[in-house]
Amino acid sequence: MSEREDTAIEPTSERLTELAKRRGYFFQSSGAYGGVGGFYTFGPQGAALKGNVEDAWRERFAVAEGNMEIDAPTIMPEPVFEASGHLEGFDDMLVECPECGESHRADHVVEDETEYEDAESLPVPEVEDVIAEYELVCPNCGAGLAGQAVETFNLMFATNIGPGDSQPGYLRPETAQGIFVEFPRLKEYARNQLPFGVTQIGRAYRNEISPRRSIIRTREFTQAELEYFVDPETDEPDLSSVEDVEVTLYPASEQNAEDGSEIEMTIGEAVAEGIITDQWVAYFLGVAKPWYEAVGVDMDRFRYRQHLSGERAHYASDCWDAESEIDGNWIEMSGFAHRGNYDLSKHAEHSGDRFTIFRQYDEPKTVERATVDPDMSYLGPEFGGNAQAVVGKLEDLAARDRSAFDGEAVEIDLEGESHELPVEKTGFAVEEQTEAGEHITPHVVEPSFGIDRLVYTVLHHAYREDEVDGEERTFLELEPEVAPTFVGVFPLQSDDELEAEARDIAADLREAGLSVTYDDSGNIGRRYRRQDEVGTPFCVTVDYESIEESEAQRASDDASGDTPRANGGVTVRERDSTAQKRLPIDDLPETLSAIRAGDLEFEEL
Ligand code: GAP
């Protein structure tokens, strides 16, 4: 049995980045051409870990919740982003160094060097004033930034669809828009019934001014988003399944208070005390916390933080972030936003399509409706090409304010100019109508996960250093559910018989659905270290005793007339404790599968 002792861990980001590159988790892309900031390639281990995290997300937020999953294009035409507000308002503040020419996020420069915590919410002139007042300097070369203009910079990558520049398009800055624009069709798949949810896992693109901290802030990243459409008046979540989930919350009120701090409570208590005001947001926070724990986020380094009012995105009425602690800093892993009916209303307004759902009344209702039926032979000559717009204005006005039609003339506002029309030409009437229901624009609650930041957190929280038999060791204590490889299989040394047996065992374990790596290079200690560093939970070693035991077993089976089988013992080593146990070869697939499924503990063997 090996002797092991934990070593105290200092900030690990640098060592993790080095390990990630050396062992194939992630590294900067296009290295042969000098690399380019903000783009990372996931190597074989990273791609497997990321794939496992995505599968776990799909299982929990799509399958287990009964939601639909779609896969939309990453490039969308300009009108989509005009409607969504991204073209107008998806900006960061940029300040350029007068000496070295490097661009920086002005709000980050301010936050890093002053007591301001939420500089993003400050107006541009105020950020310029703070830079001047604090004599802030370029983080790259140290030149003064005072007096430099702070500009707004749109984060979307622009492109052209087809030859020429007649149809501008953009790489989507969030996967969400791919769901919203398809709402008129998706609602049909949901049989026009609320509530329903649509998920998507895919790439999003943001031309970040200063990508930083490896895969935490990149220019191309993966999001896993759920858009949950609800009727704001009638739909309520069943909170019973999450009300006892304990969470660490950092509400806006605590952040604003001088001696404010995080608070521990259950989801049920947070809703009852009005700390989380929206029940759907509370529901998804309750679902997400145990999921984060299951994929390996350390719950002592996890919290939900509410956005301050100036920090919220243009579409959100409330938002909580799931944050993880990384070397003393909190990073945002996901956001749980209430987007109201912002997106669907905007797409309805810009596209003219129907982004509504028909809400059936319990009983048909007879209502009075004010309608117009304008005399087009009057509107046409009077308003020319604007005649149809005038009809729209009259319809709106009739629905909103019937009294406007009480006199002889009615006033409308068209492109900033006021116009008077004779009421008799509008065909205004109030009629009784029997209606079976009404068209409503659903509200949207959105849990939005960044997969790259979660992968980084999982690796960071799993990073361990210890000493085994007097030798320093680094290992990743990854959860079996997400570890890229579940078991490594080795022959003890270079030998045809050992290698053949080890390869057979590896094939059997793969057949049982486990992810397996076979390794016969280098001494056994080095092979263990390699698997420890990539976070493989178990290693199986075939030695000469295994072969001898198999042969003895075969001989006794032959004598009894049973089918000959190789069933010697092999050594199974557990990554975290380095404890070793001897198990029969034939039992390996079942035993290791049971451990992988969480039905059996290694200590119980
Ligand atoms: N649809 C909502 C939305 O996109 P967001 O807070 O801007 O909200 C959601 O992004 C998540 O995407 C974040 O919590 C974060 O994990 C991830 N994310 C955003 N920008 C990122 C970047 N530049 N690099 C890596 N991940 C990013």
From ligand 1's centre to the CA of 561, what distance in Å?
64
> Alpha-carbon distance 41 to 455, whole Å?
13
> Alpha-carbon distance 458 to 6, whole Å?
19
Backbone angles phi and psi of 280, in degrees to 5: -70, -40
Q: What angle do CA 78, 81, 82 make, to 5 degrees?
A: 85
Mean pLDDT score, 202-230? 95
Instruction: Look at residue 247 in the predicted model and tell me its pLDDT.
Output: 98
pLDDT tens digits, one per residue of 37-52? 999 999 999 999 999 9
Q: Is the pLDDT of residue 215 over 60?
A: yes
Its pTM stands at 0.88
Helix (H) or strand (E) holding 330: strand 329-340
Atom of ligand 1 nearest to the CA of 334: 14
Mean pLDDT score, 155-171? 95
- Most informative mutation of 105, 222, 326, 453 for ligand 1 (most atoms within 8 A of CB): 453
Give percent of the chain with pLDDT exceeding 70: 95
Q: Quick one: how far is CA 162 from the chain centroid?
A: 31
Q: Which residue type, as a one-letter code, is found at position 534? A: V
- Strand 91-96's sheet: what is its strand order? 103-105, 91-96, 150-154
Label residue 561 by pLDDT band (50, 70, 90).
Answer: low
Letter string b/e over residues 240-266, b meaning 16 or more CB atoms within 10 A of that residue's CB? eebbebebbbbbbebbeeeeeeebebe
Tokens standing for 560? 């009894």
Q: Is the pLDDT of residue 281 over 50?
A: yes
From ligand 1's centre to the CA of 518, what distance in Å?
37
From ligand 1's centre to the CA of 450, what distance in Å?
5
Most confidently modeled of 4-8, 561-565, 569-573? 569-573
Give percent of the chain with pLDDT exceeding 90: 84
Q: Which residue type, as a one-letter code, is found at position 314? A: H
Pick the closest to residue 175 from 97, 69, 268 (CA basis): 69
Are 176 and 446 in contact, with CB atoms under 8 Å apart? yes
Tokens standing for 462? 């799993």
From ligand 1's centre to the CA of 308, what distance in Å?
17
> Alpha-carbon distance 219 to 209, whole Å?
9
pLDDT tens digits, one per residue of 309-352? 878 777 777 899 999 999 999 999 999 999 999 999 999 999 98
Q: Is the pLDDT of residue 597 over 70?
A: yes
What one-character-per-residue DSSP string does 143-180 give?
-B-TTPPEEEEE-PPEEESSSSSSSEEEE-SSTHHHHH
> Alpha-carbon distance 226 to 213, whole Å?
26
- Most informative mutation of 332, 454, 456 for ligand 1 (most atoms within 8 A of CB): 332
Q: Is the pLDDT of residue 564 over 50?
A: no
Instruction: Look at residue 101 in the predicted model and tell me its pLDDT.
Output: 93
Q: Is the pLDDT of residue 566 over 60?
A: no
- Most informative mutation of 174, 199, 209, 215 for ligand 1 (most atoms within 8 A of CB): 174
Instruction: Look at residue 121 in the predicted model and tell me its pLDDT.
Output: 85
CA max distance for the chain:
112
Tokens standing for 494? 């270079």
Atom of ligand 1 nearest to the CA of 319: 6
Atom of ligand 1 nearest to the CA of 218: 24
Residue 14 per-residue DSSP state: H
Tokens standing for 206? 């943001």
Query: Which residue has the CA at smallest separation from atom 18 of ligand 1?
Result: 450
Pick the closest to residue 555 from 543, 566, 545, 571 (CA basis): 566
From ligand 1's centre to the CA of 302, what distance in Å?
17
Query: Which residue has the CA at smallest separation from atom 16 of ligand 1?
Result: 450
Pick the closest to residue 269 from 244, 252, 250 (CA basis): 244
Q: Quick one: how far is CA 204 from the chain centroid?
A: 10
Q: Is the pLDDT of residue 276 over 80?
A: yes
What one-character-per-residue DSSP string does 182-202 give?
THHHHHHHTTT-SSEEEEEEE
From ligand 1's centre to the CA of 332, what distance in Å?
8
Backbone angles phi and psi of 333, in degrees to 5: -100, -30
**CA atoms 153, 159, 161, 164: torsion sign:** positive
Mean per-residue pLDDT of the chain? 93
Q: Which residues line ligand 1 (CB under 6 A)?
A: 174, 176, 206, 208, 217-218, 221, 223, 225, 332-335, 446, 448, 450, 452-453
Residue 441 per-residue DSSP state: P
Neighbours of 364 (CB within 10 A): 11
Atom of ligand 1 nearest to the CA of 174: 4
Please write down the HEC assignment for all residues of 352-406.
Answer: CCCCCEEEEEEEEEEEEEEECCCCHHHHHHHHHHHHHHHHHHHHHHHHHCHHHHC
Query: Which residue has the CA at smallest separation from atom 24 of ligand 1?
Result: 217
Name the more confident of 118 and 269. Answer: 269
Overall size of the chain counted in residues: 605
Atom of ligand 1 nearest to the CA of 176: 1
From ligand 1's centre to the CA of 312, what distance in Å?
13
> Alpha-carbon distance 89 to 95, whole Å?
18
Backbone angles phi and psi of 159, in degrees to 5: -150, 180
Instruction: Look at residue 396 in the predicted model and tell me its pLDDT.
Output: 87
Q: Is the pLDDT of residue 461 over 50?
A: yes
Dihedral angle of Cα 266, 269, 270, 272, to the nearest 10 degrees: 160
From ligand 1's centre to the CA of 218, what distance in Å?
10
> Alpha-carbon distance 217 to 213, whole Å?
6
From ligand 1's centre to the CA of 205, what distance in Å?
10
From ligand 1's centre to the CA of 223, what distance in Å?
7
Three-state DSSP class for residue 427 = coil
Instruction: Look at residue 568 in the predicted model and tell me its pLDDT.
Output: 76
